[in-house]
Amino acid sequence: MTDFERKVYQIIVNMHLYGKNPTLDELKRKTGKSEDDIRAAVISLIMKGNLKWNKKERKWLI
């Protein structure tokens, strides 16, 4: 996991603990990165098995 992937993952985990799902705008604001960078990191985390998206409930599974 790269430093940026770890940062995105930690943001998602922390917000998940409070019952929230971070929006793309929130991730852009918290990381200071572009939408493309964030999408690439999230896709990488999903491919590595660190994150999973539940479409039915519309939330992250950690």
Q: Residue 7 — left, alpha, or beta (φ > 0 → left; ψ -120 to 50 → alpha)?
A: alpha
- Structural domain boundaries enclosing 26: 3-61
pLDDT in tens, 49-62: 999 999 998 889 88
Amino acid sitting at position 47:
M
Looking at residue 47, which CATH number applies to its domain?
Answer: 1.10.10.10
What is the number of structural domains in the chain? 1
pLDDT tens digits, 16-47: 999 899 999 999 999 999 999 999 999 999 99
